[in-house]
Structure 1
Amino acid sequence: MSGDKTQDKPQDISCDVAVVGAGPAGIAAALALAHVGADVVLIGPEPPKPSTAQQDTRTAALLTSSVDFLKRLDVWETLQGVAAPLKVVRIVDASQSLVRSPDIAFKASDLDLPAFGYNIPNAALTASLYARARDTGPTLITESVERIEHDDASARLTLSSNGTVTARLVAGADGRRSVCREAAGIETRVWRYDQGAIAASFHHARPHDGVSTEFHKEHGSLTTVPMPDPLQSALIWIGSPSETDALMACDDAEFTAGLQTRLGDTLGPVTSSGPRASFPVAGLTAKQLAHNRTALIGEAAHVMPPIGAQGLNLGLRDAAALADCVARALARGQDPGGLAALTEFARARQLDVLSRSVGVDLLNRSLLTGLLPVQAARGVFMAGLNAFAPLRRLVMRVGLEPPSALPSLMRPAA
């Protein structure tokens, strides 16, 4: 299949899989499912072009398996010009704790890798994925889903134009307020941290040299992530709501001065800062990853604090794993939305999602606690990482690789 198959006002369409949500994880899922031979419809408003999405200050730190996934989907080549390699992750204890952890640097070269992954602006990533989907693969419907009804054989999605899509499987990639999840009757566990987060970018006088630095402090962290310009970095600043509210109220000069105070001389003088966006820090897990002809992907299934570059990478693994399950179901002549396929998907994703969700939650809570035993335990662990290279390499591999086998589309091409 090739060519633009965008349908602005469809009437009635039938397909194997309807993917709902045109964010990075949803588009990647649609491309992966089309790649394995499924008849796919991708439903969601067309993402804004990067030139008109200047207020989207977020970037995505994609780990090596996610980069391999984009290569298999023929998307990576279009992103290389805006991708910055992440060669070193440095952690600095900037707290006032009585038991402070030593600074530690995780180096990709210690694993014989050129980089742990690459940092890419979200708008550019989404635009490249959507351009690939437009050129080849799924049918695109630039509408929203108003209602989903299920029966024994299919799901019927009613669109905002009153057109319908009938699918054997719904891939819900429609975010934390997922219509797909609600229609499938899947419950969630939701929690909030007493934190806010700010995403921005800034220019600095000293080259970042591919180093991402995490400053861990009371109430949160401040993380700098390299951008393609060696004198520009992305920023995620997590703090108490009062702190982030005050920072959002600052003018550019005040914000830049506050950032300089936090960074010290790490990147030299901060010369300017870009647009800022803020959001609350929260967590969500779906109690089932698949049910009632629906498989959940990305933030429809799991939301976690923006720590350790886990969120989108986890969602992309959801997408690739679903493609594997659907491919096997179709090869066996089975229903891709039937109980067997949904059970296989849920089992394939359960351990990875659980381990990442729990791990990020524990790390974030360890920054919030004032309990001296917890601070001491964290300090001892970090000291051990600093002193023992084999333990440090093990932790790096755990961060890069899921506890279960990678989906086939995420394995390096032979």
Structure 2
Amino acid sequence: MSIETQALVVGGGPAGLIAAALLASSGVPTVLAAPPAPADTRTTALMHSSLALLSKIGVWPQLSPKTGALKKLRLVDASGGLIRAPEILFDSTELGLTAFGHNIENTHLLAALHETLAGLPHLRVIASAASRIAPGPDRVEVTLENGEEISARLVVGADGRNSTCRDAAGIDAKIWDYPQSALTLNFSHSRPHNFISTEFHRRGGPLVVVPLPGDRSSMVFVNTPEELAMLARFEDAALGRELETVTHGLLGRILPDEARGARPLSGLSVKTFAARRIVLVGESAHVLPPIGAQGLNLGIRDAAEIAELASAALAAGQDPGSPALLAAYDKARHSDARPRQIAVDLLNRSLLADFLPLDAARAFGLWALAALPPLRREVMRRGVALADR
């Protein structure tokens, strides 16, 4: 016999866990199919709108002491081009906020989410991945790897860039590779970060340094695969000296943690965010370069959108997987995610291209942000999705 439910979330990453928590806490009977996730030493910068949603499901209070606040965001043109953009500093107080967001180690985030999920009455968690997904006119029939069968009116695909849910829905994905890789690591440093996140725009790609609690920060360093493969083999002291150089001594002496990871950089976009009773959230729908902390924050807003639509449908006695609901979800996510993905992609490509007109356009854009406070505040509002919810 199969388990019958209103919603099934497939995927055990942060976006999937948050989607399941938001659905269940909104009164939607939900099953989460989430195999144990591999260890993740990365960090996530959660922006203001994401923190509000985590507060809604009761996760934020226990996470707050383990995070580094992002009170200011600094952009530095380190591309070495003939036309150099001005350095710009975004201050959260311009929006009446104490911080744009907070940076958290993913191990802490996942642990807190699992603890929260265990206490939700409308949620059942099964530690298994989906092996077969068969959409039908009224329900989606799903078989898990452990042999269990689930029948759901709505499936939320949060199963990453190689999404089984996306394939089952028949949704085409455009996937492309960048000539870059990303090195991720955490480190301690001798100078305080003063709660400032710094994004260096280098010719090979962005280098992003984000505060953690105390005199610690996390880094995403984007460069050529060959350069980062060499750095990944450095011993701690040698890597620390190299990072001190590329960060222009901003944080003083740097001592990297032993754990570090490197992966090729790619992008992914979908033609539609929903089809055949399946909606996509997180990296099953969009993969972006690590610029502006948009990745997981977009996934969290995906989760919030489908939770709101599904709970409203059930409250009105309607089908949470209906074509009308899927169309509403697709429209909402297109208007939010697509412009952000295009902007991040263009900025990353402009760093790769040693092309004077692109350097001039980037410099002019940052000059305008520095010189025009109303424009700067609007960009900040959109960056933290302050007006969304």
TM-score (norm 2): 0.97
Counterpart position of 1:313: 297
- Note the alpha carbon deviations across 1:263-286, whole angstroms, 9 max, x for none: 122111224444210111111011
Using the TM superposition, give the Cα deviation of residue 262 of structure 1 relative to its aligned residue in structure 2, in angstroms. Answer: 0.6
2:152 pairs with 1:167: yes
2:79 to 81, 90, 95: 95
Q: How do 1:3-402 and structure 2 match up within 5 A?
A: 12-47=2-37, 53=39, 56-136=40-120, 137-229=122-214, 231-401=215-385
CA distance in 2, matches of 1:251, 1:304: 30
Give identity over the alignment, percent. 44
- Note the alpha carbon deviations across 1:304-358, whole angstroms, 9 max, x for none: 1111000100000000000111012112222111111111111121111111110
- Note the alpha carbon deviations across 1:219-263, whole angstroms, 9 max, x for none: 10211100012x110000000111111111222222111111111
CA distance in 2, matches of 1:77, 1:176: 30
Letter of the 1:281 partner, please give it.
L
CA contact (8 A) 1:256 1:273 kept: no
CA distance in 2, matches of 1:332, 1:391: 41
User: Aligned Cα RMSD in Å?
Assistant: 1.3
CA distance in 1, matches of 2:355, 2:321: 48
Q: Secondary structure of 1:32's match?
A: helix
- Note the alpha carbon deviations across 1:165-213, whole angstroms, 9 max, x for none: 1101110000000111111111101111110001101111001010011
CA distance in 2, matches of 1:390, 1:340: 37
Q: Structure 1 stretch 276-285 or stretch 253-262: which is displaced more? A: 253-262
CA contact (8 A) 1:43 1:144 kept: yes
Using the TM superposition, give the Cα deviation of residue 60 of structure 1 relative to its aligned residue in structure 2, in angstroms. Answer: 0.7
CA distance in 2, matches of 1:150, 1:18: 12
CA contact (8 A) 2:11 2:17 kept: yes
Q: Secondary structure of 2:259's match?
A: coil
Using the TM superposition, give the Cα deviation of residue 34 of structure 1 relative to its aligned residue in structure 2, in angstroms. Answer: 1.0
CA contact (8 A) 1:47 1:130 kept: no
CA contact (8 A) 2:244 2:251 kept: no
- Note the alpha carbon deviations across 1:126-155, whole angstroms, 9 max, x for none: 111111111224100001111011221111
CA distance in 1, matches of 2:163, 2:311: 25
Q: Secondary structure of 2:252's match?
A: coil
Letter of the 1:18 partner, please give it.
L
Q: Secondary structure of 1:275's match?
A: strand
CA contact (8 A) 2:77 2:84 kept: yes
CA contact (8 A) 1:214 1:223 kept: yes
Unaligned runs of 5+ in 1: 1-10
CA contact (8 A) 2:237 2:255 kept: no
Q: Secondary structure of 2:238's match?
A: helix
CA distance in 2, matches of 1:309, 1:372: 27
Going from structure 1 to structure 2, the CA distance change for 1:369 and 1:17 (only over 3 Å counts) comes to same
Using the TM superposition, give the Cα deviation of residue 47 of structure 1 relative to its aligned residue in structure 2, in angstroms. Answer: 4.0
CA contact (8 A) 1:47 1:127 kept: no
Using the TM superposition, give the Cα deviation of residue 384 of structure 1 relative to its aligned residue in structure 2, in angstroms. Answer: 2.1
Going from structure 1 to structure 2, the CA distance change for 1:31 and 1:273 (only over 3 Å counts) comes to closer
Q: Secondary structure of 1:276's match?
A: strand
CA distance in 2, matches of 1:114, 1:383: 25
CA distance in 1, matches of 2:135, 2:331: 23
CA distance in 1, matches of 2:377, 2:323: 40
CA distance in 1, matches of 2:382, 2:48: 13
CA contact (8 A) 1:205 1:267 kept: yes
Using the TM superposition, give the Cα deviation of residue 28 of structure 1 relative to its aligned residue in structure 2, in angstroms. Answer: 0.8
Q: Secondary structure of 1:135's match?
A: coil
Counterpart position of 1:5: none
CA distance in 2, matches of 1:39, 1:391: 43
Using the TM superposition, give the Cα deviation of residue 391 of structure 1 relative to its aligned residue in structure 2, in angstroms. Answer: 2.2
Letter of the 1:21 partner, please give it.
G
Letter of the 2:265 partner, please give it.
V
CA distance in 2, matches of 1:71, 1:270: 34
Using the TM superposition, give the Cα deviation of residue 36 of structure 1 relative to its aligned residue in structure 2, in angstroms. Answer: 1.7
Using the TM superposition, give the Cα deviation of residue 214 of structure 1 relative to its aligned residue in structure 2, in angstroms. Answer: 0.9
Letter of the 1:258 partner, please give it.
E
CA distance in 1, matches of 2:106, 2:178: 24
